[in-house]
Structure 1
Amino acid sequence: MLIAIGLGLVALILVELVLRVERVLVWMAIAAFFTAALAPAVDWVQRRMPRCKRTLATLLVFVLILLVFGGLLAVFAVPLAREGTQLANQLPAMVADARAGRGPLGGLLDRTHALDYLQQNQERIKQFAMGLGTPALNLLRGLATGVVAALTIFVLSFLAVLQAPKLVEGTLALLPPASAGRWRAVGRECVRTVTGYVTGNLIISVVCGLLTYLVLKIFGVPFAGLIALFVGIADLIPLVGATLGAIVAALAAFIHSVPAGIAIVVFFVVYQQVENHVLQPIVFARTVKLNPLTVIVAILLATELAGILGALLAIPVAGIIQVVLKDVWRHRRERAPVESAPVESVTVESTPGQTSTRPSTSDERAEGERFST
């Protein structure tokens, strides 16, 4: 009874500890994912430059990643700043045209009677605007938490990639030599699974960006390249990224023209179905070596259980489980013939008049065969 009570208390303490540090555990899980994805790149740099130390190779890889992200931000920031300046200069004229019912915005407001609604509900709109302070504060807090999380994950990933060989060797040193070699091979296969997932995700995002660019270009939507680049990057975010990119592209298309907006909405509805049920299973079946049905089931279950984080880790975790199960099955099949082999026995005379039996060895069986011959 005391043991049962003690185990129950330990379980409660562990659950409470996990709930208290849930955010940190999530950051560590994401950092572990990026570590498994980036460690092969650092190893490749070290193989190409044998004199390069682990610290320098890790620094080069992470600096390259920062440069890529900085370049993408510059690609977005420069056109947005230019267009924002033009919009600020044209805003007074646009407002005057809208009030007079001129221009596309004025015609839209006139057809929907939006100006009459605004004039009749000025007090209600003012109260609604005053109540936006708390959501705005929560949004700022969320942004600050996101920045802290990104920096923490970056530092954890950098340190984990830097110390990866020592961590692996130290862990394997605790195991017997035979088991250490086996688990080293399993670990390599798991890392290949994560790398394959990242590669497959990049391929899908490139396909999404290219198709979006073609559709936007066909309907003459301005800034088609910039919007397609945003859609491709957003598609890397699991669960919500594709929807976010579709919303931005559809808004830009509706501003250009209503038919273009309707066409973009139809395109994204169809493409999402094709990507979720055809493209993702096929690509991940090639890169992660997972059955298409397993890919769909893993994404659905993980998304339902853990949301965005589950969608991010669903396919790598499913691939790792598959690697471990294959290794266990292979190991059991290799041991099965040895364990099921019949054992012969020989009669040994221990004392005069008394005999005993024991398993015969291979040498004794060979000697017996030569004697009988």
Structure 2
Amino acid sequence: MSSTKARAALRTSARASAELLLILLMLAVSLWVLGRMWSVVWPLVIGLLLTTLTWPPTRFLLRRGWKPALAASTVTVLFLLVAAGVVALIAVPVASQSGDLTDGVVDGVQKVREWAAGPPLNIGDAQIDKAFDTAVSRAQDGLGSMVGAVVTGVSTVVNGLVTAVLALFLMFFFLKDGPRFLPWLARQLPGRLSTDVPTVAARGWDTLGSFVRSQAAVGLIDAVLIGLGLWILGVPLVLPLAVLTFVSAFVPILGAFFAGFVAVLIALVSNGLMDALIVLAIIVVVQQLEGNVFQPMIQSRGLGLHAAVILLAVTLGGSLAGIVGSLLAVPAAALIAVIWNYVREQLQEPSQDPGTDEPETGIATPS
């Protein structure tokens, strides 16, 4: 390689490195600003997630000629009634039994500890103490956080009531004025951004809505089937375990493992080893039906993410922001994939006609 080409390659590499560093710096600043504004961003995120669930009935009313304000008000009131019914019928009993659920998990861990200390494993007491004390602590903390998230509406803001009220108001305005947002956004942006940003926003909204609605439907099916199996076997705390299964469905892969682990431990403590194995078999069968039947039927278009990417996203989100990070990790990864796919489409070369070397002009020819 000549010295001129070498200098040109070095300049190109230096420019690319500088641009990458600038992008990383902008990302770090954006995350810092997001963290500082989290008390406002969190109600906005909850409002968007609630809007994805309530938008289909609102759209149905709008297509029937209802005014946007009336349709949004009706759906918001119905949502509040349904939420109040859920709190009265499910959340209150779950909260009253949360202590028993936590104690059952701890007892189950202790029972496994005693089994591991005997033959054929014969694991030393010191190793068991260190490993299982950590497991007990994490089980108590994680289960308490999960039950608290169910009861309080998955709120990490100090004043959960203010967050809920803000989210409901935002949901109402999103339902009322949502269809006007993209045209308004297109008018505010200059040049090509007036096309690119609304297109990415529309695709991201479709992806987010698909994820939330499909996970809610699949989680409900899992909770009903697993709860029915626990009820038939006479396992206690059926309702809290069913609610835990439903909430855990929003954390792919790790959520199902956690909920199943808790159900098996409760069955082991209360009903014995045989029923615990039956519960394990029920959970495995339901999870197989979910992955091979329910999920493809309910979610016709997937998120386009590999299982390994989902696992890494959930792990990273949990390590950064706990339960909230685990819940939001997969939607965030899906939105990033939407942006990346759109950028890749725009950077692709124009397609070539297989029968000619000329690039396509986009002008239709008469048939």
| TM-score, L = length of structure 2 | 0.56
Task: Give me the whole-angstrom Cα distance separating, in 1, the residues matched to 2:29 and 2:41.
Answer: 16
The answer to whether structure 1 residue 164 and structure 2 residue 178 are counterparts is yes
Query: 1:301 is matched with which residue?
Result: 312
Task: Give me the whole-angstrom Cα distance separating, in 1, the residues matched to 2:186 and 2:351.
Answer: 26
Q: What is the deviation of 1:201?
A: 0.6
Which residue identity lines up with residue 251 of structure 2 in the other structure?
P
Task: Give me the whole-angstrom Cα distance separating, in 2, the residues matched to 1:284 and 1:300.
Answer: 22
The answer to whether structure 1 residue 316 and structure 2 residue 331 are counterparts is yes
Q: Could you report, residue by residue, the CA deviation over 1:173-214 in whole angstroms, capped at 9, with x for unpaired residues? A: 134798756655554433222222123212321331233134
Structure 1 residues without counterparts, runs of 5 or longer: 84-135, 343-373
Are residues 186 and 335 of structure 1, via their aligned partners in 2, closer, same or farther at CA, if it must alter by over 3 Å? same
Task: Give me the whole-angstrom Cα distance separating, in 1, the residues matched to 2:205 and 2:258.
Answer: 30
Does the 8 Å CA contact 1:197/1:288 hold for their aligned counterparts? no
| TM-score, L = length of structure 1 | 0.55
Identical positions, percent: 26
Structure 2 residues without counterparts, runs of 5 or longer: 1-17, 98-143, 360-367
Q: Partner of 2:251: helix, strand, or coil?
A: coil
RMSD: 4.9
Q: Could you report, residue by residue, the CA deviation over 1:105-135 in whole angstroms, capped at 9, with x for unpaired residues? A: xxxxxxxxxxxxxxxxxxxxxxxxxxxxxxx
Are residues 218 and 285 of structure 1, via their aligned partners in 2, closer, same or farther at CA, if it must alter by over 3 Å? closer
Query: Pick from 247, 271, 291: which aligns with 1:234?
Result: 247
Are residues 252 and 336 of structure 1, via their aligned partners in 2, closer, same or farther at CA, if it must alter by over 3 Å? closer
Q: What is the deviation of 1:172?
A: 0.9
Task: Give me the whole-angstrom Cα distance separating, in 2, the residues matched to 1:190 and 1:284.
Answer: 21
Q: State which structure, 1 or 2, has the greater radius of gyration over its C-alpha atoms.
A: 1
Task: Give me the whole-angstrom Cα distance separating, in 1, the residues matched to 2:92 and 2:332.
Answer: 39
Query: Pick from 1, 12, 24: which aligns with 2:40?
Result: 24
Task: Give me the whole-angstrom Cα distance separating, in 1, the residues matched to 2:299 and 2:276.
Answer: 34
- Aligned residues between the structures: 277
Q: Partner of 1:163: helix, strand, or coil?
A: helix
Higher relative contact order (CA 8 A, sep 6+): 2
Q: Partner of 2:159: helix, strand, or coil?
A: helix
Task: Give me the whole-angstrom Cα distance separating, in 1, the residues matched to 2:190 and 2:266.
Answer: 61
Query: 1:34 is matched with which residue?
Result: 50
Does the 8 Å CA contact 1:30/1:153 hold for their aligned counterparts? yes
Which residue identity lines up with residue 87 of structure 2 in the other structure?
L
Task: Give me the whole-angstrom Cα distance separating, in 2, the residues matched to 1:257 and 1:190.
Answer: 46
Query: 1:46 is matched with which residue?
Result: 62
Query: 1:202 is matched with which residue?
Result: 216
Task: Give me the whole-angstrom Cα distance separating, in 2, the residues matched to 1:193 and 1:155.
Answer: 23
Q: Could you report, residue by residue, the CA deviation over 1:149-175 in whole angstroms, capped at 9, with x for unpaired residues? A: 333333333333333233322111134
Query: 1:359 is matched with which residue?
Result: none
Which residue identity lines up with residue 200 of structure 1 in the other structure?
S
